[in-house]
Amino acid sequence: MRGHTGAMTDAAAGKGGHAHDDVDWAATAATLSGWDELEEGRNRAIVDWLVVRPGQVVVDVGSGAGGMAAALLDAVGTAGTVVIVDGALELLTVARRRVERRDHHLVAVHADLEHEPLSRVLDVRPVDLVHASAVVHHLDDEFAAIRALVDVVRPGGRVVVVEGGLGNRFLPDDCGIGEPGVEQRLAAAQDAWFWSEVRPAGATVRTGRGWNVLLAEAGLLDVTARSFLLDLPPPLEESTRRVVCAVLAGQLARVDDRLGGEDRATLARLLDDDDPQGLMRRRDIFVLGARTVHVGTVPA
Ligand SMILES: C[S@@+](CC[C@H](N)C(=O)[O-])C[C@H]1O[C@@H](n2cnc3c(N)ncnc32)[C@H](O)[C@@H]1O
């Protein structure tokens, strides 16, 4: 496995991404990287809770900009291996640059998991733990996706699925512009976008049950969950407010046609660097959100 350090295998060459999900992951690289900086402490807390050990082989599926993979690589140390798997080559490159370090073993695999089973694209075995955060919900059949994760883990190893939790909040309820509650309406619009664009009824399989039940039905034992807060109270550093701006701008771009004119105008003012009420000039912006980590063990 040492020979794999820094390797990039390409199972998705020529594949065009997702059938229905029109998220442009490459365009989100800068925002995901900025967000990873904010999440560093939470990622380490999750890795500590999972008790990832030196020498283990860990796979991070849908690794994004590599924030969690960096924490995992620190935990497995020079004797272990981290494999990052992602369908967006640009993100995989960003992640590899972020995570790679001397004498550590990192393998990058480019694969569109909608078309390439994980078991086929992964040539590193045995796997002690597979971690998949905010990616299973992008695959057409979530239950099949979980079973594909289970398939690659050794008996006694663990499958970690990070899904659900609570969306991130940044704004005071009354931010002094427009009607109070704009962030709740933005969240509702995002929810509607998610169910019509990311998980459209015709093109994706509805599970009708929670993540813990899906993990148990996929054959995992001792299924448990814990939620981890990201709690950055105000006032935020300028660099953190810049990340919040990028996240809000991305949300607005996705759902502006689902918002009323007044809310669109409010968000445009909040995102305007020159507006005295804008995010970059405010002392009352915060970051508060929660990720739920579901984990189960493959029967020995
Ligand atoms: C919302 S981001 C999550 C990033 C990171 N795991 C996190 O939790 O912050 C989803 C990631 O899954 C990847 N992804 C989405 N659909 C995929 C697919 N069909 N095959 C492989 N990767 C996919 C995206 O490229 C992106 O890196």
Tokens of 86: 């992602």
Distance 271 CA to ligand 1 centre (A): 26
Task: Compute CA 21 distance to the chain's CA centroid, rounded to the nearest angstrom.
Answer: 15
Measured by CA distance, the residue closest to atom 12 of ligand 1 is 62
- pLDDT, tens digit, for every residue of 45-99? 999 999 999 999 999 999 999 999 999 999 999 999 999 999 999 999 999 999 9
Task: Compute CA 44 distance to the chain's CA centroid, rounded to the nearest angstrom.
Answer: 15
Tokens of 38: 């904010």
- pLDDT, tens digit, for every residue of 163-203? 999 999 999 999 999 999 999 999 999 999 999 999 999 99
**CATH code 3.40.50.150 region(s) in the chain:** 2-165+200-230+289-297
Distance 62 CA to ligand 1 centre (A): 4
- pLDDT, tens digit, for every residue of 106-126? 999 999 999 999 999 999 989
The predicted model scores a pTM of 0.93
Query: Which pLDDT score, from 0 to 100, does residue 27 have?
Result: 81
Residues 203, 204, 206: CA angle, nearest 5 degrees: 140
Residue 38 Cβ inside 6 Å of ligand 1? The answer reads no
Distance 113 CA to ligand 1 centre (A): 10
Judged against a pLDDT cut of 90, whether residue 13 lies above it is answered with no
Predicted confidence band at 155 (pLDDT cuts at 50, 70, 90)? Answer: very high
Distance 300 CA to ligand 1 centre (A): 29
- pLDDT, tens digit, for every residue of 129-151? 999 999 999 999 999 999 999 99
Please check whether residue 157 is in contact with residue 124, taking contact to mean a CB–CB distance below 8 angstroms. Answer: no
Atom number, ligand 1, closest to the C-alpha of residue 18:
19
Residue 39 Cβ inside 6 Å of ligand 1? The answer reads no
How confident is the prediction for the chain on average, in pLDDT?
A: 93
- Ligand 1 test: best mutation among 32, 109, 138, most atoms within 8 Å of CB? 138
Residue 171 Cβ inside 6 Å of ligand 1? The answer reads no
Residue 180, number of CB atoms within 10 A of its CB: 14
Say which CATH architecture domain 2-165+200-230+289-297 belongs to.
3-Layer(aba) Sandwich (3.40)
Query: Which pLDDT score, from 0 to 100, does residue 189 have?
Result: 98
Q: Residue written as tokens 């967000």?
A: 35
Distance 136 CA to ligand 1 centre (A): 8
